[in-house]
Each structure stands twice: as structure tokens, then as C-alpha cells.
Amino acid sequence: MTDIQRFETNDRMSQIVVHNGVLYLAGQVDLDMSETVTDQTTKILERIDALLKSQGADKSCILSASIWLASMQYFVEFNGVWDAWVSPNQAPARACVQAELAHPEFLVEVSVIAASA
């Protein structure tokens, strides 16, 4: 498997795995556990921007996004940040469902698959 590249790897996961022109990002949460959905979403999307940039890619390269909200009551607030962030006319496919996340303070988690630059 010499054609797999991994970045920010520890014993549990890599934050980015690159294979065959595709980037697989780990599910991103706001480790600062900001209080609001808006703040957590903003930080998560900034983190995704940074991870993509580390590979020479950007949000226009995102193919598909998996979104988990700790409560569907956060749907409108999350989408307010998401819709403004998405690259115009270049929105990815996505699915958004409710799920309890790894820590009760995590309100949002986002994972993406992207094309490498």
C-alpha cells in the first residue's frame, strides 16, 4: 500500500488519508467545546479549510459531507453557518442526521471526502 498517504496520524486515527486522488478526512469536532452551535460549526469548518489547505485543496474540492448534529434543534443554526461557508455553485453532496457524539459538549461533527488538488 505505498500509494496511501496519512497526515496527523496517532494510534487511533489520521486526520487526513490520501489515496488515488481522494482525500478522506476524519470527523471534525470543536475540541474547544464552544458554547453555541454557530461557534462550534465555525471552528469545525475553519479546521476543514485548514486540513484541505494542507494538501493544496480547498472547500471547492469537497465531494461529499457527512454531518451529525447532537440535536435536530440545531439544524437551522448549523445550516446558517454551513450555507454561508459553502463554495458558491460548488456545494458537495451531503447527508445530515442526528447522533449523540463522543462527548456531550460536542454539538456538531462534520466529515468530508474531497478531491485532491
Smaller CB distance to a copy of itself: residue 33 or 75?
Answer: 75
Adjacent-strand bridge partners of 65: 94, 112
Residue numbers at the binding site for a copy of itself (CB under 8 A)? 1, 3-4, 6, 9-17, 19-22, 24-27, 57, 60-61, 63-66, 68, 72, 75, 79, 82-83, 86, 88-102, 109, 111, 113, 115, 117
Smaller CB distance to a copy of itself: residue 31 or 63?
Answer: 63
Q: How far is the CB of 36 from a copy of itself (least distance, A)?
A: 20
Cα 48 from Cα 108, distance rounded (Å): 13
Specify whether the CB–CB gap between 101 and 68 falls below 8 A.
Answer: yes
Q: How far is the CB of 72 from a copy of itself (least distance, A)?
A: 5
Q: How far is the CB of 54 from a copy of itself (least distance, A)?
A: 14
According to DSSP, the β-strands at 22-25 and 14-19 are antiparallel
CA proximity to 102, closest of 28, 6, 34, 11: 28
